[in-house]
Amino acid sequence: MKTTATASNGTILEIGKKYGLFEYTKGTYVEVLAIGKNKVFLRTNNGYEITQDINQDWLPYEEPQPKPFEGYQKWYCINKLTNVIHVNYFKIEPKEDVTYAYFTEKEVIDLGLKND
1-47: pLDDT as tens digits: 689 999 989 999 999 999 988 777 777 899 999 999 999 999 999 89
Q: d(Cα 67, Cα 88) in Å, to the nearest integer? A: 17
Say if 66 falls within a structural domain. Answer: no
Decide if 84 contacts 67 (C-beta within 8 A). no
Q: Are 52 and 93 in contact (CB under 8 A)?
A: no
Kindly state the average pLDDT of the residues 96-104.
Answer: 87
Domain of residue 104 covers: 73-111
Boundary of a domain, candidates 19, 37, 60: 60
Residue 114 has pLDDT above 70, yes or no: no
pTM, two decimal places: 0.56
User: Do 9 and 40 lie in a common domain?
Assistant: yes
Would residue 67 count as lying in a domain? no
Number of domains comprising the chain: 2
What is the chain's alpha carbon radius of gyration, rounded to the nearest angstrom?
Answer: 25
Residues 35 and 77 in one domain: no
